Amino acid sequence: MGPLSRETWAQRLGAFRASPSAFMAGPEGEDLGRDLLSELRSEKLSEQTKVSLLALSLEYPAQLWPDATAAEAAATSLLDTLVLLPPRPSALRRPLLLAATTALVAGDALGPTSEASRRLLPLLLGLASGRDLGRGFGPASEQRPLQATACECLRELESCKPGLLGGCLGLLRGLLGQEGPVQPLSLLLALALRNTLVIRARARAGLQGLLMAGDTPSGGDPWNWALAEEGDARLQPQAPSWPAAEEECGLAVLEPTPEEARELRAAVAQLLDTSYLLTPVAQAQLLWLLGWALRGLRGQTPVLFKPQLVRLLGTAQLTLLHAVLALKAAFGEALFTAQDEALLLRRLTVAAQHPALPLPAHLFHLHCLLSFPENWPLGPTAEEATPLLLGPRLCRGLLPSLLHDPMALLARLHLLCLLCVEDEEKEEKGQDWSPRHYLEELLAGLRQRAALDGGPRASATLCFQASHLVVQCLATQPTVLTPLTHGLARLYRARPVLAPHFVDLLDRVGPELGEPLRVALRQEVVSGPGRDEALRWHLQILAEVADGNAQSATLGFLGAAAAHCTDWGLQQALLRVCRALLRAGVGGGLADLLQALARQWEDPDGRDHARLYYVLLAHLAGPKLGVALGPSPAAPALASSLVAENQGFAAVLMVQEAPAPIRLSVGPHRAAGPGPVLQLHVEVLEPAYSLELRFRVEGQVYAPLGAVHVPCLCPGRPCRPLLLPLQPRRPAPTRLDVRALYTTPTGLTCHAHLPPLPVNFADLFLPFPQAPEGDKLGFFEELWDSCLPKGAESRLWCPLGPQGLEALVSRHLEPFVVVAQPPTSYHVAIRLPPDSRLLLRLEAAQEDGVPVALRTDDWAVLPLAGDYLRGLSAAV
Amino acid sequence: MAQRAVWLISREPGTPFCGTVRFSRRYPTVEKRAKVFNGASYVPIPEDGPFLKALLFELRLLDDEEDFIESRDSCSHINKTSVYGLLIGGGELWPVVAFLKNNMIYACVPLVEQTLSPHPPLISISGISQGFELLFGVQDFLSLSQKNDTELNTKLNQLPDLLLQACPFGTLLDANLQNSLDSINFASVTHSQKQPAWKVGTYKGKPQVSISITEKVKSMQYDKQDIADTWQVVGTVTCKCDLEGIMPNVTISLSLPTNGSPLQDILVHPCVTSLDSAILTSSSIDAMDDSAFSGPYKFPLTPPLESFNLCYYTSQVPVPPILGFYQMKEEEIQVKITVNLKLHESVKNNFEFCEAHIPFYNRGPITHVDYKVSFGQLEVFREKSSLVWIIGQKFPKSMEINLSGTVTFGAKSHEKQSFDEICIGGTAYLKLHFRILDYTLTGCYADQHSVQVFASGKPKISTRKL
């Protein structure tokens, strides 16, 4: 793109400023950064236009040069432009320095490896030191402003890379002592000093003579990239600006050597002595910085600040008073005696109401009063409170009045409330002036104003904000809350259109005001006729306050109102009240009302809803109803009540698929009873109600299983084992597919698929009915013989573990042993439902195994038995 | 203590956006720090459009007052300072320092060097007071000798260059923007000695010190048993010291006659180098007694080049200068009014002007007035529904004047008449505007002997009381 005229640039800049993001997304966006840099060297453009281009780059470097490479290139180009300027006075030098600095910092390009950084830093330091940099850097008349600008650039670099100038402290002190411009050098030195002290303290290192006045340290760069990168010294919320925050951050403490301490004191004194030469805002910055710097130093008394304080306390400057408060917070009693504290409070009180100061200053001073950093605070520091030394007399001038601006009124009201709290604590001492009485009158006035027909929304808002503030501060004082409740109820009677404010207030206050106010408002609504133009407001209030109390009056009101609810909006409002009543568990009368509505209304939507509520009321139990009507847990609140409502119903009336919070396991085998029974252990991760476990047998080897019901399960509370009777069709192991159906504490019904449960072959074992006493062997032999010829016979080797045969039998086969000759010979008879048998002879056991003869009347059992026996020793 | 961005927005009710961004300035290097300091709670500075909308909404300056909007009207949304949180793009931009003055909204966002959730107390954020000071500075600059829109535009056009000077990286260097303007012009001066940053050059010429004292009295008289009448004097002492040398030392004293009312709540200019503790502690909070410090009030200072307000004070004079009585009786569409005014004998009876404004709120335009005045003349502003009683330069010898009459009103038209929440029914007020030249109610004065100058040459000293 060729050179652009001044007008074109003006247009282009205007378009960019209107919406940078839109411009950058457009066709011209991509070239803007490049064009801007090249145009700065154009000879056709005036300096003024070039300054406006630079101004743009000062504000939007990230848009013009979005990455570090582009920023580095831009800074290089800007520096080149600066060097190439002709040696006559130019308005471009300052903005070029600022722009190069901004580009490097904003583009994250600042660092020891960046070529532009390596050019910019010595240039800035050279200019700041007042060194002659040659004719390229302008005529002598420009040196002074450039020196100041270079200091500002260095200060910004130090702000963004704390510690960078740690090596220049001595040099800066020297310059300040000579003829350098006082303000820029003071601020730069104070910042570098503060940062160095903080970083050194964190690293538990000393100052290492950094403060010694003199030229740059010998040997190379003064840049302390190492210090700037040291530990966690990089820009972090490292400058806790208030003592409360400091404790959390654990500000490290630096213990300087006596010599270092002396040097430090000298440097701070040097800065403070010339501080009156700084503008008030810069003085305030200096005090904040030095306050921060010295706070972490052990053994440094802050008395150095003392000579400045009286001068500062007398001024009308917001920043200076604020800086004094910062010193107060930092040093407390070490700098301010109780008398000083009292004086400071007096000045703050004066400043908070002085007619010569603007309202924003009043409000800020008032905030400072309520957050005043006391030497010995009584309460928690985070809360706003009246300082101990700020008595009611000092506050007389700070009382709220109806003529005040809303913010001033609220701020002063807060103070008044705090006075009421103190007054209550001191109890009545027969004072002539009662803050509580004053408060009541003020609130009454606010309500009166809010009650005005046609009054602005803001005055209603103010009235409710004031009420809320009072409840927050004085929730425990019935003497305040009772008149407030009555007053608000009267306000509602006067202006029902404020219903949204009432609902909002009820949502936000605790029960101290909430409970009585609900009762009062309900009373106010239901005692009315229910057919005036305020009906929609009445219904809105009722939907908020209706509960199980005063049912008949409420229902009577609704019944009367129903006939006047002719449009959809009013019908929905009335239905909302019905919902509230449903939720509160109101029964009989409500059912009649809903039925009446379902018949009476013409609008199908209203009718359907009424019918739906009636059906819900008739069919759902209380808790479930509550959930059905409550907000849907599945989706965030939607604007449409209908959608939200439907989702609520759907959630409740449908079964939810859920990951199982239930763990099921099979307990030890119980060999008793007529059929095999599985013992199940259930554990839950969250409470489950009405749990129903359903089982399906894989391969249908057993008869279908009945469901198991558990009324209630809680985590950590043991549950008796559940017994699941099995009815095998074949004596075979299988797996059970398990599904659980349960209700969550929130009332949702959930369905979960649990991991399958294995049923082992041994789980089916049952003993034979007791053999006749005395002839057990005969009984066994009879069974043994009966197996053949229909059945099958086998012999196998059952390996034994170290415990031997006796242990193996007692562990696994004990209930089924018919004849035992310990430790070598056992005859075992097992009944396998439905009608099979398995007989084992374990005889002549040897050290490592026992030969087993087995017979069964069901050949299909043989492989299962073989597997079982072979697995026994491993299971021991 | 830096600012992330600054805006000036003119309020334009009735237009689609209800306002226009007239000036904005962002500080990307500060923004960089904000991102690190604020961590997860960081909310970037929005573009002008969204900022304008969110700020006007929060300040209730959009034309949509009708409905209850929870994020603005909720009772828990309590603002007790001029610092706001703006909901922008799903996040809350906080702290936004903003105030409205003369239809211009001044706003900035100070850097907070820690996390923003929970909000740290404002008192712990150094950038808050710096932000206020910056905005006050801009406001002073814009309002200084500003008469019309063209001048305002000229000044707005100067702002980018001025802020480049006074606030190049978001950290304010001087809240006095006029100084920055001068320093651009003074750039050629070479400095050999320590030059204060608040003084851009040196004065060359005839030495001269001028001091003027202005007192305003603010009085509210209810004539009721349960409400105390109030009257308070607020004084401003303005100085201009044209003296040679970089740091001339001057001491200015204010004196009171023997029966004068002590000065209280004294706030001084930062160029005052030290203060007597009696001046520092004299305050309207204390009960008045004879032991109160009654001067002379000495202010040692090194003056800046420009005219400056040396100090502000208040005072409690024993009686209000003019005692008033105003009665209004409502009779259907008419009201009967009676006004009596009495000038106190101790007050100088020589006004530059003196007039009583009698507004009628929440009523229609005035259709007819029957009246009788003992002194001066009455002007009727029918459409504005107000009367102005022009009393003139002097009260008559009796020191007492009165007005009585009947005012008839037409039908109330809703569009034109603004609603007043206080003046309803029988509640009404009369406001007296007057100025007495060369007179102070407290008696406070400065004369030839009040000024000591420690500099070469004998200055001409001029003092006046307004």
User: Are A456 and A509 in a shared domain?
Assistant: yes
- Mean pLDDT over A355-369 rounds to 95
CATH placement of domain B208-319+441-465: 2.60.40.1170
Which amino acid makes up residue A840? L
- Under an 8 A CB cutoff, do A469 and B283 touch? no
State both tokens at B300.
């040692």
B3-183, CATH topology level? Beta-Lactamase (3.30.450)
For A364, the closest of B124, B128, B195 (CB atoms) is B128
Is A592 a domain residue? yes
Q: Mean pLDDT of all residues in chain B? A: 88
CB within 8 Å: B32 and A105: yes
- Residue A635 pLDDT > 50: no
Same domain (yes/no): A515, A559 = no
CA–CA gap between residue A200 and residue A193 (Å, rounded): 10
Nearest CA-CA distance, residue B383 and chain A, Å: 22
Measure the N-to-C terminal CA separation of chain A; round to a whole number of Å.
89
Residue in B27, B191, B285 closest to A394 by CB: B285
SS3 A832: strand
Of the options 3.10.20.740, 2.60.40.1170, 2.30.130.10, 3.40.50.620, the CATH number for the domain spanning B322-411+423-436:
2.60.40.1170
Per-residue model confidence as pLDDT tens digits over A177-199: 887 789 999 999 999 998 888 88
The most confident of A2-11, A397-406, B195-204, by mean pLDDT = A397-406
- Are B123 and A458 inside 8 Å of each other by CB? no
Whether residue B385 is predicted with pLDDT greater than 60 in this model: the reply is yes
Position A868 scores a pLDDT of 87
Nearest CB partner across the interface for B132, out of A274, A313, A318: A318
CB contact under 8 A, B175 and A281: yes
Distance of residue A502 Cα from the nearest chain B Cα, in angstroms:
9
Comparing alpha-carbon positions, the chain A residue that sits nearest to B281 is A343
The per-residue pLDDT for range A443-457, each reduced to its tens digit, is 999 999 999 887 888
Element (H, E) at A841: strand A836-842
Residue A633 — pLDDT band, cuts 50, 70, 90?
A: very low
- The closest CB to that of B234, out of A144, A356, A500, belongs to A356
pLDDT tens-place string over residues B326-342: 999 988 778 999 999 99
Same-domain status, A661 and A582: no
pLDDT tens column, A111-163: 888 999 999 999 999 999 887 676 667 777 788 888 999 999 999 999 998 88
Q: Where are the domains of chain B?
A: 3-183, 208-319+441-465, 322-411+423-436
Contact A314 B275 (CB under 8 A): yes
The whole-angstrom separation of Cα B81 and Cα B401 is 44
Residue B368 pLDDT class (50, 70, 90 cuts): very high
Q: Are B268 and A315 an interchain contact pair (Cβ–Cβ within 8 Å)? A: yes
The minimum CA-CA distance between A254 and chain B, rounded to whole Å, is 22
Please report residues of B whose CB lies closer than 8 A to that of A141.
187-188, 190
**Listed ranges A387-396, A615-624, A863-872; the one with the highest mean pLDDT:** A863-872
When pLDDT is averaged across residues B162-178 and rounded to a whole number, the result is 93
- Closest-CA residue of B relative to A313 is B280
Query: Which of A153, A277, A343 shows the shortest C-beta gap to B281?
Result: A343
Band (A641; pLDDT cuts 50, 70, 90): very low
Is A236 contained in some domain? no
A515 and A567 belong to one structural domain: no
Name the least confident of A324-328, A408-412, B198-202, B462-466. Answer: B462-466
ipTM: 0.94
A467-498 per-position pLDDT tens digit: 999 999 998 888 899 999 999 999 999 999 99
Which of A338-352, A479-493, A777-791 is least confident? A777-791
Per the CB < 8 Å rule, is A160 touching B80? no
Residues B177 and A169: their CA atoms lie apart, in Å, by 31
B322-411+423-436 matches B208-319+441-465 in CATH topology: yes
Number of folded domains that form chain A: 4
In a domain, A99, yes or no: no
Segments forming the whole domain that contains residue A857:
765-874
* pLDDT for the residue B107: 97
Residues A778 and A733 in one domain: no
Full-model pTM: 0.80
pLDDT digits over A500-526, tens only? 999 999 999 988 899 999 999 999 998
Is A596 inside any structural domain?
yes
* A606 part of a folded domain: yes
A and B: number of Cβ contacts within 8 A: 324
Residues A753 and A777 in one domain: no
Residue that is last in its domain, among A496, A527, A558: A527
Calculate ∠ Cα A801-A850-A826, nearest 5°. 105
Q: In this structure, are strands B104-110 and B91-101 parallel, antiparallel, or unpaired?
A: antiparallel
Q: Give chain A positions within 8 Å (CB) of B188.
A: 141
Which range is least confidently modeled, A270-274, B198-202, B434-438? B198-202
- The pLDDT assigned to A247 comes to 44
